[in-house]
Amino acid sequence: MRMQPPIEARYTEMPEDELARRIAECKERLGSQLCILGHHYQRDSVFRFADFTGDSLKLSQRSAETAAKFIVFCGVHFMAESADILRHEGQVVILPDLSAGCSMAEMADAEDVEDALRLIERVCDEANVIPVTYVNSTADVKALTGRWGGACCTSSNARKMFDWALRSEDQGGAGADKILALPDEHLARNTAFAMGYQGSDCVVYDPRKTDGGLSKEAIRKARFILWKGHCYVHQKFTVEQVDAVRVQTPGIRIIVHPECSQAVVQAADESGSTEQIIRAVSASAPLSKWAIGTEVNMVRRLAANNPDKFVRVLSDAPPLCAMMDRIDPPHLLWVLEELCHDKVVNRISVPPAIAADAKVALERMLEQSGT
């Protein structure tokens, strides 16, 4: 993870209303040269300044479409990397705080992933193994995925991308015998189950163990090899919370993110990406009751935007993504004021050779997603 050097105290000590006023002034001054992208997990005081908001998929699409010269990404490091990979000539991508990483993305190292792919191929007599990489991964892992004929996916299109990987080449797919799904074992397992596969079709590959901790027979039998990785925010949700909320609020519907464990997803009424959760709650009837298993900033905003409904976080303790939370108004103002002085700070720049291969994996996903 990269470290963010401290910014000047005049930013960190500035009152909130002055920060907001000066951010708005910078936006006005930079005009159409600037595009601020805001992920749903961002705090309100940052989210309100975003020109476009969304989940990883929507923001990848927006970043590929915008003509603005400066893309300020209010999200985490892998998202800014994706924006840099998809950017046009002359565009610059900025992450307001370099230490806003993603612990899940850091659980998959490209060399370890390549070792796993080679092992699976060797054990399975040159079977066609296709990596499908959640966008919550480093540019190096995306690049490896592109080189191995694989694609990226998000939580909203994982099923579509698994279908694509397994479909025959005659039918426009990748013709995979097996999928190496990474870096989130939970999204992968939940997706495989939603497609009708069983636990016996999936094995977990642990990169910290010799041969992933798997026997040759287990690798041969599996259709899905799941990388042992997780999101610590979504692992905080439990079946006990689901049961308790149902007792506390009869008639409540429970919707959770597919990064939650399979047990939680099965205990809930629905699961979906952040965009799918927003759509489900927004389209529900007045007086509907919802408990939501995802990051707290998004759930609180959803509650505020749906005052005619009861909307709560599934857990009692607020599940905050500490990585996303590193993007705050002082850092946003700092990068914008530097831009106003013709100075770029915190540029995210993926080396061209890595970017070219990673772009292949991202574009395969965007093609399947209808852009």
Q: Would you report the helix, strand and coil content of the chain in percent, each value rounded to 5?
A: 50, 15, 35
Q: Pick from 323, 333, 336, 339 the residue near ligand SF4 by CB under 6 A.
A: 323
324 binds ligand SF4 (CB under 6 A): yes
Contact window for ligand SF4 (CB under 6 A) among 113-121, 261-269, 278-286, 319-327: 319-327
233 binds ligand SF4 (CB under 6 A): yes
35 binds ligand SF4 (CB under 6 A): no
Distances (CA, A) of 5 to 96, 240, 266, 342: 11, 41, 43, 20
Tokens of 239: 């079946």
Residue with Cβ nearer ligand SF4 (98 or 324): 324
DSSP code for 347:
B
Tokens of 370: 């209808």
Residue with Cβ nearer ligand SF4 (78 or 290): 78
**84 Cβ neighbours under 8 A, 6+ residues apart:** 93, 348, 349, 350, 355
231 binds ligand SF4 (CB under 6 A): yes
Longest CA–CA span in the chain (Å) reads 64
Per-residue contact track with ligand SF4, 95 to 134, x per CB under 6 A? -------xxx------------------------------
SS3 1: coil
Residue with Cβ nearer ligand SF4 (82 or 223): 82
**13 Cβ neighbours under 8 A, 6+ residues apart:** none
50 binds ligand SF4 (CB under 6 A): no
Give bridge partners of residue 93 from the DSSP assignment.
71
Tokens of 39: 């992920």
Q: Pick from 295, 330, 346, 360 the residue near ligand SF4 by CB under 6 A.
A: 295
Residue with Cβ nearer ligand SF4 (7 or 76): 76
Name the site residues for ligand SF4 (rule: CB under 6 A).
41, 76, 102-104, 136, 231, 233, 295, 321, 323-324
